[in-house]
Amino acid sequence: MHFESPIKRRHSRQIMVGNVPVGGGAPISIQSMTNTETCDVDATVAQIRAIADAGADIVRVSIPSMDAAEAFKKIREAVSIPLVADIHFDYKIALKVAEYGVDCLRINPGNIGNKDRIRAVVDCARDKNIPIRIGVNAGSLEKDLQKKYGEPTPDALVESAFRQIQYFDELDFHEYKLSLKASDIFMTVEAYRKIASQIDNPLHLGITEAGGLRSGTVKSSIGLGLLLMDGIGDTLRVSLAADPVQEVKVGWDMLRSLKLRSRGINFIACPSCSRQNFDVIKTMNELEERLDDITIPMDVAVIGCVVNGPGEAKEADIGLAGGSPNNLIYQDGKPNSKTKNDTLVDDLEKMIRQKALLKERELANIIVKN
């Protein structure tokens, strides 16, 4: 089923985070954040590489101290993916990592300090052509806003953001993106909707402190899904108490589901029932594990019986419809071959890899011609 996405994205200005465009109609970039001890350079570099291999466009690294800033210098030299330095409290850390080639600075208006400190960061960023992310968070709002509103609210988040926007405008600095995050879906969505209609700067989406792998994925999918469906969002991070690689995979699943970006295999699989002619769940688990390295966009249908199997298989690049005594494999909408239960995973993997290789060659030819 080849329906185009009906989503009309919000117009926004474009900034560059390293070599990754953010906003201005560029593909929605996916970010994650390391959870290693930053001063452990080897562990942090290894995790950044794993995150990049999973498909992240940008990686954020926490820099809580000057020692971490010195470690960042070595980290920056070891990896090529754009890096964002996450800065809280001490503005001097931002100045230090700017010297070491950071691609973006994330500052929190709730704790970075007075205007003189912000000016120092902005002047440094301007001098070195580094964009800034203004990261407003419900858990660290300015004290006077906490007193004014009594508790975090969408309006409090927006007011905090506009304070920084106004000051950045006074400094004639426009290379920035914004985030307005809360752990509450409704607060986050309303805050983003409010500010999206008032500014044209790129927006970084996220539900902060969303939870563990399962609950955080659900919460993030609902909150970010609502915003993405509205056309809001230029880059995103799925915040999970889990391996950062999982954040990247969930982010890609979101964008793929909304047809905003494509990477890897889009599996169409039935939940299985007593009509299944093979073990669908086991088959899917094996296929996902074996084929995780494929990055070319593909549709693969795995359906356990003849009720919906042929129909779904005909719409996919590769499809499997359960049958007795043999299952039927489809390629490009047409029956291709039969397979038995004990060989179907091997047979499918072989056909999927062959199809992926063909698609890669076709894509390469298109690029050469253009």
Q: Where are the beta strands (DSSP E) in the chain?
A: 14-17, 20-23, 29-33, 58-62, 83-87, 104-107, 132-137, 176-181, 204-205, 235-237, 265-269, 298-303, 318-321, 327-331, 334-339
User: Final residue of a domain: which of 231, 258, 285?
Assistant: 258
User: What is the domain-level CATH number for residue 40?
Assistant: 3.20.20.20
pLDDT single digits (tens) 310-363: 999 999 999 999 998 999 999 999 999 999 999 999 999 999 999 999 999 988
Same domain, 175 and 27: yes
pLDDT value of residue 204: 98
Note whether residue 3 is domain-resident.
no
Alpha-carbon distances of 256 from 83, 94, 224, 267, rounded to whole Å: 24, 35, 13, 11
Residues 219 and 344 in one domain: no
On whether both 216 and 69 belong to a single domain, the answer is yes
pLDDT tens digits, 158-205: 999 999 999 999 999 999 999 999 999 999 999 999 999 999 999 999
Q: Does a structural domain hold residue 348?
A: yes
167 in a domain, yes or no?
yes
Are 250 and 270 members of one domain? no
Q: State the Cα–Cα distance between residues 237 and 281, nearest whole angstrom.
A: 29
Domain residues for the domain of 329 are 265-369
Using CA atoms, how far residue 166 sits from 10, 162, 349, in Å, is 22, 6, 55
CA distances, 78 to each of 20, 29, 47, 181, 245 (Å): 18, 22, 12, 31, 19
Q: Which of 211, 230, 258 is the last residue of a domain?
A: 258
Instruction: Examine residue 365 and state whether it is found in any structural domain, yes or no.
Output: yes
Residue type present at position 20 = V
- Single-letter amino acid code for the residue at 123: D
Do 222 and 331 have their domain in common? no
Provide the pLDDT confidence category of residue 1 given band limits of 50, 70 and 90: low
- Same domain, residue pair 148 and 292: no
Q: What is the pLDDT of residues 281-291, one digit of tens each?
A: 999 999 999 99
124 is in an annotated binding site: no
pLDDT in the model for residue 364 = 83
Q: Assess if residue 9 is contained within a domain.
A: no
Q: What is the pLDDT of residue 368?
A: 77
Judge if 42 and 175 occupy the same domain.
Answer: yes
Whether residues 123 and 156 share a domain: the answer is yes
- pLDDT class of 111 with cuts at 50, 70, 90: confident
Q: Has 305 been labeled as part of a binding site?
A: yes
Last residue of a domain, one of 220, 241, 258: 258
Based on the fold, state whether residues 197 and 270 are members of the same structural domain.
no
Q: Is 39 annotated as a binding residue?
A: no
65, pLDDT greater than 80: yes
In a domain, 250, yes or no: yes
User: What pTM value is reported for the model?
Assistant: 0.92
Task: Examine the domain organization and report whether 250 and 101 are in the same domain.
Answer: yes
Q: Are residues 48 and 154 in the same domain?
A: yes
171 belongs to a structural domain: yes
Task: Report if residue 177 sits inside a domain.
Answer: yes
Q: What is the pLDDT of residue 370?
A: 67
Name the amino acid, one letter, at 205.
Answer: L
* Domain CATH number, residue 297: 3.30.413.10
pLDDT: which is higher, 345 or 5: 345
Q: How many CB atoms are closer than 10 A to CB 189?
A: 23
Upper half-sphere CA count for residue 41 (Cβ side, 13 Å): 13
Q: What is the torsional sign of CA 332, 351, 246, 49?
A: negative
Report the share of the chain in percent with pLDDT over 90: 89
Task: State the average pLDDT for the chain.
Answer: 95
Same domain (yes/no): 251, 296: no
Question: CA 106 to CA 141: how far, in whole Å?
Answer: 15
pLDDT tens-digit map of 119-151: 999 999 999 999 999 999 999 888 999 999 999
Between the CA of residue 99 and those of 42, 108, 322, 370, what are the distances in Å?
21, 20, 60, 39
> Locate tokens 């970006």: which residue?
261
pLDDT at 2 over 90: no
Is 312 annotated as ligand-binding?
yes
Number of domains the chain contains: 2
